[in-house]
Amino acid sequence: MSILITADTTCIIQGITGREAVSMTRECLDYGTKIVGGVTPGRGGRDVHGVPVYDTVEAIAKKTRVDASVISVPPAFARDAAFEAIEAGVKLIVIVTENIPRFEVAQMVELAALRGARIIGPNCLGVLSPGEAKIGGLGGRAVDARKAFTKGRVGVMSRSGGMTTEICNTLSAAGLGQSTAVSIGGDAIIGSSYAELMPLFEADPETEAIAIYSEPGGRMEADLARWVTENKSRLPVVAFMAGRFMDAMPGMRFGHAGTIVEGKADTTAEKIERMRAAGIGVAERIEDIPALVKQKLGR
């Protein structure tokens, strides 16, 4: 099985006529994703790789079922795009746009919660369930995605889109496929954290283990450790923690907007200690993840 998306998931792309969105549309179509429409206000009636373009999300939703939307618009328009999709009844919103103001992200997340929708991102590459569908730019071209991502029983979550692919490629090379890979986003505020996605993997009978890529900054690892402990998770978890050098440089940021070390709890050392205390295996290198997963599974 998979979480969030399946081969039957219908998807739209908001901002579909943008340069990056045009490429993403082609990649998703080639992978087999069911893209039923795109939205760019004022450009309705056109098409992108055969996908019809509409002026509004509502116009598509009136014609067909829309399960998910990818938002690829400039930061100034991201909140309105998310609001539009949520109010049109779309339940999964994947936001690839970065540099959205925090208070606007918070508003989007709050509205999604009120309407029973889920946001992935922002500043993410999306979701990929091997052999089912990919929503967003995760994995790049379909031919590359099929090499890096293979169907299996390891759920993957990562704050970095690129490292999501790297971990999946490493797992695949070791004969361990993935149930679903989720690029959760690198901003300080995101729609779905590790702990918030864990219940979905926990409920999936075909997911047997979890691999995550994490970074300094924020409280997501502490929340994950707490969730795993309090819920007595059946799933063994293996993590790779980047940025160990940052422990000596509080206040420094590298890579993502969310990787700001503001105090001891944000440091790599503290996060590793918390995760190990919760029984989460911590890999020294990315290439060590498959062996740790196999060890956790008793293979």
Residue 276 belongs to domain spanning: 10-296
- Per-residue pLDDT tens for 27-56? 999 999 999 999 999 999 999 999 999 999
- DSSP 3-state of 57: helix
Is 49 noted as a catalytic residue in this protein? no
What CATH code is carried by the domain that includes residue 289?
Answer: 3.40.50.261
Q: Which of 79, 134, 256, 274 is catalytic?
A: 256
Residue 242: pLDDT band with limits 50, 70, 90 = confident
Beta bridge partners of 70: 13, 94
Is 57 within the bounds of a domain?
yes
Count each helix (H run) and each strand (E run) in the chain, helices first: 10, 14
In a domain, 2, yes or no: no
Show the 3-state SS of 130-185. Answer: CCCEEEECCCCCHHHHHHHCCEEEEEEEECCHHHHHHHHHHHHHCCCCEEEEEECC
pLDDT digits (tens, 9 = 90+) for 146-204: 999 999 999 999 999 999 999 999 999 999 999 999 999 989 899 999 999 999 999 99
What does the pLDDT read at residue 270?
87
Residue 33: the pLDDT is 98
What is the C-alpha separation between 237 and 278, in angstroms, rounded? 10
In sequence order, which residues have a C-beta less than 8 Å from that of residue 135 and are 6 or more positions away? 5, 9, 11, 28, 33, 68, 70, 92, 94, 126, 127, 128
Q: H or E stretch including 8?
A: none
Of 173, 194, 198, residue with least CA distance to 291: 173
pLDDT in tens, 107-150: 999 999 999 999 999 999 999 999 999 999 999 999 999 999 99
Residue 193 CA to residue 185 CA, distance in Å, equals 9
* Structure tokens belonging to residue 122: 């922002």
Q: How far apart are CA 235 and CA 254, in angstroms?
A: 30
Query: Does residue 84 sit within a domain?
Result: yes
- Is 3 among the domain residues? no
Cβ neighbours around 80 below 10 Å, total = 15
CA quadruple 4, 6, 8, 10: dihedral sign? positive
Phi, psi angle pair for 170, to nearest 5° = -65, -40
CA 108, CA 201: separation in Å to the nearest integer? 24
Q: Which two tokens stand for residue 97?
A: 């746009």
Strands (E), the chain: 10-14, 34-39, 47-48, 51-54, 68-71, 92-95, 118-120, 126-129, 133-136, 151-158, 178-183, 209-214, 237-241, 281-283
Distance CA 61, CA 64 (A): 5
Mean pLDDT for the stretch of residues 207-220: 91
Query: Is residue 163 domain-resident?
Result: yes
Q: State residue 218's pLDDT score.
A: 82
Residue 168 belongs to some domain of the structure:
yes
Structure-block tokens of residue 60? 């598509």
Residues near 230 by beta carbon (within 8 Å), at least 6 away in sequence: none
Tell if the pTM clears 0.85, that is, is over it.
yes
* Cis peptide bond N-terminal to 290, omega within 30: no
Number of domains in the chain: 1
